Copies of this chain bind each other. A is one copy, B any other.
Amino acid sequence: MQGLLYIVSGPSGAGKSTVIKSTLDKIHGFSFSVSYTTREKRPGEIDGKDYFFINKSTFLKMKEDGKFLEWAEVHGNYYATSKKFVEKKLKESRGLVLDVDVQGALNIKKIYKNAIYIFILPPSNEDLEKRLKKRGTESKDSLEIRLKDAKWEISHMKDFDYVIVNQEIKESTNQLISVLVAEQLKRERFDERAPFFFKKQL
């Protein structure tokens, strides 16, 4: 089996991690790619489940050793996706979901052109600003820088296949489930799923 790769991204503060978590709790056969990060653990986060939390020197060593599919620096913290983890999970499951910032998503797109790119937006600019202000406690950057970054990130929505406006977590979850499932049903992927119709004559 070769599973599909789903890249879920969007400006920080759009709530993408919550939507992904809620989605993967509700469906079977899909896995989540756990990223490496140097940022501080937030309350409720679990090492090895939400992220692999590592320090900067370990991160830079892994990067040097070519262990990462992509890496990015966002608001002073490093994030990366492990090559080995992705390749293993794609063999084991129908689909693997990656939670990455927009920079990371664009880097992955250079390698995995056939992955499915999903952009999650906050419901409005006002809402985004509110969420970014709240995030201010974790980041050393000024609100101005965070808003500028979000603007750049939203300008790259054009590089994505689907857009989910995260108005209400339950609806966004259903929408993400729909994208994951519908992509599995694409006709050009049917050959691998149920070849009996072609092999057997009626």
Contacts and interface: CB of A to CB of B under 8 A. Distances in A.
A80 interface: no
Interface string A176-193: 011111110111001001
A125 B200 contact: yes
B185 A162 contact: yes
Interface string A17-41: 0000000000000000000000000
A69 interface: no
A177 to B, nearest CB: 7
A169 to B, nearest CB: 16
B194 A165 contact: yes
A185 B164 contact: yes
A181 B186 contact: no
A131 B147 CA distance: 59
A78 to B, nearest CB: 25
B181 A183 contact: no
